[in-house]
Amino acid sequence: MTELSSDMQRGDPDSPGEPRERVGPDDPVLRKKERIYDNLITKVTEQNELSPTDIKPETEIFHDLGLDSLRIYELVIDLESMFDIRISDDELERVGTVQDVVDMIYELTAE
């Protein structure tokens, strides 16, 4: 699986001039994962009054974000609706980090 690099998420702050693009223009996999990541972060921050800067690909969904089972259930329902997918209990059990969620959604939408 391809992971989102930290440079892709925030650009290079030490770079002078125009902000860099977060991914190369010819990489459709990373572009799609970036869109999934952005939508996921938007949904999580809206539901849980978190700042987007609090969430990174390596952030653990259950422990770092402090989501209880009801909030996880609501997030799953929202993601299923947003991406027109079905997330099984088995798939949900394999999720640990935000990157795991991005990868899972990418795989489910590629089918």
**41-98 pLDDT per residue, tens:** 999 999 888 999 999 999 999 889 888 889 999 999 999 999 999 999 999 999 999 9
Q: Which of 68, 84, 89, 90 is catalytic?
A: 68
SS3 109: helix
Contacts for 7 with CB less than 8 Å, ≥ 6 apart: 22
27-110 in CATH: which number? Answer: 1.10.1200.10
Sequence spans of domains, the chain: 27-110
Q: Confirm whether 84 is a catalytic residue.
A: no
**Nearest-5° Cα angle at 32, 68 to 10:** 75
Nearest to 15 by CA among 7, 23, 24, 27: 7
**6-53 pLDDT per residue, tens:** 444 444 444 444 444 455 667 899 999 999 999 999 999 998 889 999
